[in-house]
Each structure stands twice: as structure tokens, then as C-alpha cells.
Amino acid sequence: METRELVKKAKSGEKEALIKLIMDKKQEYYKLAYVYMKNQEDALDALSDMIVILYESIHGLKRDEAFYSWSKTILINCCKKMLNKRKRVIYLENIKEVEERQKQEELIESKHQEILIGNYISRLKSKHQEVIKLRYFLDLDYESISHILKIPIGTVKSRISIGLKKLKESLGGEEV
């Protein structure tokens, strides 16, 4: 049966005519979908989407002889739509990998900074190193440092101030 006759029958609601039209060119449709989707499952999904659209829209086809070019355009659009959806999907494994990589990089950066600061602190006089480590590494208050070192609170504050000033200078920072 001629394509135009089958299209007319399909337009009038004959499902078998639409199936015959599609089956006559099934290899061409599949190859076209496969070129876009690059795997069998997605190509078949795109074909099934195309068939649904053809069934719902065939009555709007103006030129019956243009059925195959019209249907292939619909198939291409189905493939493109599926590919765009795929781009928007973010897999949890990818997010976890990125987060893990960021944590590792942050840890490395943190350790690098600790080593760098440690090097600069080691250049200070021991009395300044001691109070800075107690204050900022162990988070002790002035009074506790005073009791531990058996020195007045004023001396603790003075040593911290001088130590920080020297540390800033050696790091290339502005003076306080």
C-alpha cells in the first residue's frame, strides 16, 4: 500500500496503518536514534516517545507525503530532549567524589598552612613561642597561661603581643 494511503488511514484513526508506516522504516528510525543516543536502550526509548507523539499528532500533518521526514524530525527532537535531560542529571556518586576531593584539598591546605605558620613561629624567641602556642593552639586564657608559666598576666599579654607583632612582620603583614 502506498505511503499516502497509509497516512490517510492513520489520520482517520487506524492504528494498524500507523504501525505499518513505522515498521516499514523501522531500521532507518533505529539507526537515526542510535546515532544520537549511542546505546540501544536509549535509542529504543526515543523511538517509543516518537511513536506516542506520532499517534497523538498525526491528524495535524498537512502534507501526507512528508510523513517520513516529519516523523524523523520528531525522533530527532525526542533524542535531543532525552540528551538535555541527561545533562541536567547530577549523579550522587559524582557529588560525593567532588565533596571528598574538596575535603582532601582543604585538609592539605590546612596542613600546609600549619607547617608554614609553625616554621615562622619557630623563628620567634622561645618565650614568645610558648605563650602563642598556649593561647592559640591550646586555646588557653591569659590567667591559665599565667598560672602554668608562673608569670604575671601582664607579662603573658606583653609576650603574646610582641610575638604576634614579630610573626606578622616575618609573614610580610602590616604592623599593628
Q: Kindly report, residue by residue over 53-106, the tens digit of the pLDDT.
A: 999 999 999 999 999 999 999 999 999 999 998 887 766 666 777 788 888 888
What local confidence, expressed as pLDDT, does residue 176 receive? 45
Q: How much is the mean pLDDT over the chain?
A: 89
* Of residues 51 and 114, more confidently modeled: 51
* Of residues 110 and 10, more confidently modeled: 10
Q: Does domain 123-176 have CATH number 3.40.640.10?
A: no
Task: Give the C-alpha separation, 106 to 59, whole Å.
Answer: 61
Contact 27, 68 (CB under 8 A): no
What local confidence, expressed as pLDDT, does residue 94 receive? 67
The alpha helices in 38-175, defined as continuous H runs, are: 40-57, 67-88, 92-122, 126-132, 142-149, 153-171
What local confidence, expressed as pLDDT, does residue 174 receive? 59
What local confidence, expressed as pLDDT, does residue 118 receive? 81
| Residue owning grid cell 620567634 | 124
What local confidence, expressed as pLDDT, does residue 91 receive? 66
For the segment(s) 3-88, the CATH number from 1.20.140.10, 1.10.1740.10, 1.10.1840.10, 3.30.360.10 is 1.10.1740.10
pLDDT range class, residue 142, cuts 50, 70, 90: very high
8: closest CA among 51, 59, 69, 52?
A: 59
Asked if the model's pLDDT at residue 111 lies above 60, the reply is: yes
Rg (CA), the chain: 37
Contacts of 126 (CB under 8 A, 6+ apart): none
Cell matching residue 31: 539507526
Q: How far apart are the first and last CA of the chain?
A: 94
Mean pLDDT over residues 25-32, rounded?
A: 94
